[in-house]
Amino acid sequence: MNITESIFGELNGHIIKSYTISNDHGMSVSCIDYGGIITGISVPDREGNIENVILGFDTLEEYINHSPFFGAIIGRAAGRIAGSAFTLDGTVYQLKKNDGEHQLHGGAGGFHQVIWDSDAEKGLNEANIRFSYISPDGEEGYPGTLEVTVNYTLNNENELAISYEAISDKKTIINLTNHTYFNLSGDLKRDILDHEVTMESDHFLELDETLIPTGEFIHVENTPFDFRAGKEIKEGVMSGHQQNVLAGGGYDHPFLLNTGEMTVVDSASGRKLAVETDRPSVVLYTANMLGSDFKIRGVQSKSHLGLCLETQCPPDSVHHEHFPSIVLEKNEVYKTKTSFKFHVV
């Protein structure tokens, strides 16, 4: 295992640090303390060629000017909060809007663009980057001073584990995730339309025209949302299903998980990503709305160039009592973990 540290840029007088963890088998993970962003993950294909398998940039300016949450820590609440408001114990909390009338991914000043404290630790068979941040009471409208720690741990099994821990001095809501866009072709040689996703999920959440969950669970049987036996992304992209069309031609939907295990396979490169989470749902987003006005490490950005597996509680759970709760009691410890393990097939 090895860790290197360098300067990625400067923002408002703060030096932005970059870390790269490399294991003994050719896998490496790079991240920066701006947004806790994972800037690169390099893994071998079936021929042993080591290439980057996520979307990201080489400069801080590109992340600030163009990034649709590439690789970032998302909080305090992932997804959309309807009407940018919620009620706890009779008190209405008004959040800052950044998606029409709604708040998306914690607001414009969310965790994806704060500067986190960071440090690195190396062991014999794993290495860890720890990010920590204290979100003040009222930040983006959320109650409570929230102390957050996120760990990125790479081991010699080609597994990246992301663990989250938080505690608040007031009752609040929290729903953290990571927003990495995966493309297993390697160095963005192809889009993700031929990527096959498998997950044990019997129901997905219906969305309204503003992409807010309606509260209805729809059974996946006989729909493009049935990934139980595996399905290529292009089936949903080319589908005329109302929910696929609504999302911009593809997926931007929460799936309720029967188990916390999912896989993504790119048969051309032989790369397989196995995901394991303790969260009750995942939002599958297939970059349907990825802009085309910038380049990603020399490759023209376009729709369906990556896919996200945002493990979390369902978005807008605070407005749906039958959804898993995202309420965090005062001094209660929030703790969750998702791992991403790479194989070849």
CB contact at 8 A, 189 and 201? no
Using CB atoms within 10 Å of the CB of residue 287, give its burial: 0 to 12 exposed, 13 to 18 middle, 19+ buried. buried
Write the DSSP symbol of residue 136.
P
For the annotated catalytic residues, the residue numbers are: 179, 310
- Give backbone dihedrals phi and psi of 14, rounded to 5 degrees, phi first: -100, 130
* Measured distance between the N- and C-terminal CA atoms of the chain, rounded to whole angstroms: 24
CB contact at 8 A, 86 and 217? no
Whole-angstrom distance, CA of residue 162 vs CA of residue 312: 12
CB contact at 8 A, 8 and 40? no
CB contact at 8 A, 292 and 281? no
